[in-house]
Amino acid sequence: MSFNIVVLAKQVIDPEAPSASYRIDGSAGKLEVDSSQKIAPVINGFCENAIEAALQIKEAVGDATVSVISAGSDFVMDVMKKAVSMGSDEMYLLQDEKFSNLNDSSITAKLLATAIQKIGEYDLVLAGMQASDWDQAQVPLGIAEILGVPCVPIARKIEIKDGRAICERATDAGYETVSAPLPSVITVNNEFGQPRYPTLRNIMAAARKTPITWDAAELGLSDDDLSPRIKIVDLFIPEKQSQCEIIEGEDEEEMGRNLALKMREAKLI
């Protein structure tokens, strides 16, 4: 039987774009790109690492299928098809205006988990450790909870052996090796290796391939299912205040002494 890998990929605002290109809509609780800047979105960097991990596992296992899933309302097809041009087999786009502002991780997890169940049998779900827009790192954990499978976060190596995923994962203290039964959800970091460049053959194949699209109705999700449990009251850039004080003295020794006194007064030393 084929080994089935599902990869989660998110279209995000290009984090390398100039900050002047961004616009915050505080009332809607979202970050947007100024339309006059004409800056294309990208696939989240950690998601590309997850795609690379899936392709490496496919090469190691042999008979495997890699399916990529993304949710949103306004996909740029040339951007999303990069996942196929890297070597993925199938692409599923969950596209509906109701998916336009997925700020509630629990709703996003439910949406993606429903799509995974609709696809059918799966052995492994891979995701990037976090997205560059919100940095919450919550969705894969929620998916694992809904699917009722183990979750291994922040993996840097994955080996499939005897029906289990042997993972080396990063921790605050270094690295640890863990084993999880399949199916499992695993998030990966950028230590998995540089995402491969698309080949000309795969680019041409991706251009011909039509993604499978599902909306809320086709996924069997009601408005109540997609109703967020959290509300962003406001979104803003905090104002920062800085003060500069010149430390004076007759010479460097006196200035150093005066600086030490100031730091002691401020209880910094």
Amino acid identity of 119?
I
SS3 176: strand
pLDDT value at position 100? 83
Q: Which of 25, 4, 29, 209 is nearest to 124 (CA)?
A: 4
pLDDT tens, the chain, 269 aa long: 689 999 999 999 888 888 777 777 776 677 777 777 778 889 999 999 999 999 999 999 989 999 999 999 889 999 999 999 999 999 999 999 999 878 889 999 999 999 999 999 999 999 999 998 888 889 999 999 999 999 999 999 999 999 999 999 999 889 999 999 999 999 999 998 899 999 999 999 999 999 999 999 999 999 999 988 888 888 887 888 888 888 888 899 999 999 999 899 888 88
CA distance 220 to 143: 17
Residue labelled with tokens 């799966």: 122
pLDDT value at position 105? 92
CA distance 248 to 237: 35
pLDDT value at position 234? 82
Cα 193 to Cα 54, 106, 120, 189: the distances in Å are 12, 30, 29, 9
CA distance 169 to 154: 5
pLDDT value at position 197? 93
Which pTM value belongs to this model? 0.84
pLDDT value at position 14? 86
Number of Cβ atoms within 10 Å of the Cβ of 266: 8
DSSP 160: E
